[in-house]
Structure 1
Amino acid sequence: MLARFPDLYVLRHGETEWNVEGRMQGRLHSPLTTKGIAQAQAQRRVLDGVDLDGVDIISSPQTRAVHTAVEIFAARAAMIRTDAALCEIDAGAWQGRLRRDLEIKGDLKMTVDGPLALYEQAEGGEGFVALRQRCETFLATLSGPAILITHGITSRMLRTVALGLPTEAMADLPGGQGVVFHLKDGDQTQLE
């Protein structure tokens, strides 16, 4: 049976310098690019058409997510709270390394955001089982509608859990930066 969650708006942070370089970020910091700031502003325009009364604004505490949240909600910056459960998956020893230098075994699980296998196979990393548990625990704490500003892999897992899908379905979900996903009653819509 599909768990019922409140309405969710799930956003990924804007493009960072390390995204451009093809570098694994995980829990490390990389600043937004000019394009990343423009992506956050595009998300703000999308959310301008949404009634935000009573909606919690929760961001990952990682700098790139907080910067994105502030770009979107500048007038409501005091309403943004952070939660470590929204941090990006820990990529262990692979954090800071160029993706092209890392060896992946088996199915790459390619997505618009790159190969998911990098995060599942990261040496000393968190892995998808632990990430799913973190996301399930977080979503169970929500008591009302929320906007979640997070990261590529964590966004995919949050949406996978909220949609009642198996972990393997992460690769089939749309991704990207500068987009807003609305999840309501077990359905996902990409807002534009």
Structure 2
Amino acid sequence: MMRIFLVRHGESEWNSVRRLQGQADIDLSARGVAQAEALRPVIEAMAPDHVLTSDLLRARKTAALLGFEDAVRSREFREIDVGDWTGHAIADLIAADEEAYRGWRAGTFVPPQGESWHDFRSRTLKALTDACDATRDRLLVVCHGGVIRALLDGLLSLPPKRIIPVGPASVTVLALSDGHFRLESFNFSPNGPVFDAPD
């Protein structure tokens, strides 16, 4: 049986102020560093034999704090591109057009110049499938909350409107057996669950 460990990066500087970042290359906050350090023993116990990371700084730094400075970088595991919404405060987006923001969270609305949910899901699913083909038993992917939700949609038919935002520095575990994926753990953090994680 193969297991896939999906880790969202620790809190970023823009997460801390609820600013939508998409593919903007934002660093971890001090709290995000502490969150990643707290998760390290959990990931060490899982003993991944192949490690990939999004090439964005917040994911790369999280991978390094987990003990994987040499993790293979992949653009395909980047967060969804939010286009013209990049850098905007979430509260401002909701105030301007709550229906559009809720639609984006549900995967049905695309911000101007942004990436569609369908394309995002296809991109991340192909990247994971390729990674699984190159991995023996335990794959770790350090990425973004949107990536994890897209993979759960693509692999388990859990649409984004039915999944809460993924907590910073949390791990979600999937098992692959006989060609089928199953969810073994979702949103686990050694600091406890986060129910209102920032996008």
Q: Is the 8 A contact 2:107 2:117 kept in 1?
A: no
Tell me if 1:104 matches 2:98: yes
Tell me if 1:72 matches 2:66: yes
Q: Which runs of 5+ in 2 are unaligned?
A: 177-181, 191-199
5 Å-filtered alignment, 1:11-22, equals 11-22=7-18
Corresponding residue number in structure 2 for 1:179: 170
CA RMSD of aligned residues (A): 2.4
Q: Is the 8 A contact 2:11 2:35 kept in 1?
A: yes
Paired residues, number: 176
Question: Normalising by structure 2, what TM-score?
Answer: 0.79
- With 143-152 and 80-89 compared, the bigger mean Cα shift is at 143-152
Quote the offset at 1:165 in angstroms. Answer: 0.9
5 Å-filtered alignment, 1:77-88, equals 77-78=69-70, 80-88=71-79
Tell me if 1:157 matches 2:150: yes
* Cα separation, partners in 2 of 1:104 and 1:117, compared to 1, 3 Å: farther
Question: Normalising by structure 1, what TM-score?
Answer: 0.81
Q: Is the 8 A contact 2:175 2:183 kept in 1?
A: yes
Query: Sequence identity of aligned pairs in percent?
Result: 26
Instruction: Name the aligned partner's letter for residue 90 of structure 1.
Output: D
Tell me if 1:91 matches 2:87: no
Q: Is the 8 A contact 1:11 1:181 kept in 2?
A: yes
Corresponding residue number in structure 2 for 1:112: none
Corresponding residue number in structure 1 for 2:55: 61
Q: Which runs of 5+ in 1 are unaligned?
A: 110-114
Instruction: Name the aligned partner's letter for residue 143 of structure 2.
Output: T
* Cα separation, partners in 2 of 1:173 and 1:21, compared to 1, 3 Å: closer
Other structure's SS at 2:21 match: coil
Corresponding residue number in structure 2 for 1:28: 24
Q: Is the 8 A contact 1:116 1:171 kept in 2?
A: no
**Whose RCO is larger (CA < 8 A, sep 6+)?**
1
Q: Is the 8 A contact 1:91 1:119 kept in 2?
A: no
Q: Is the 8 A contact 1:104 1:117 kept in 2?
A: no
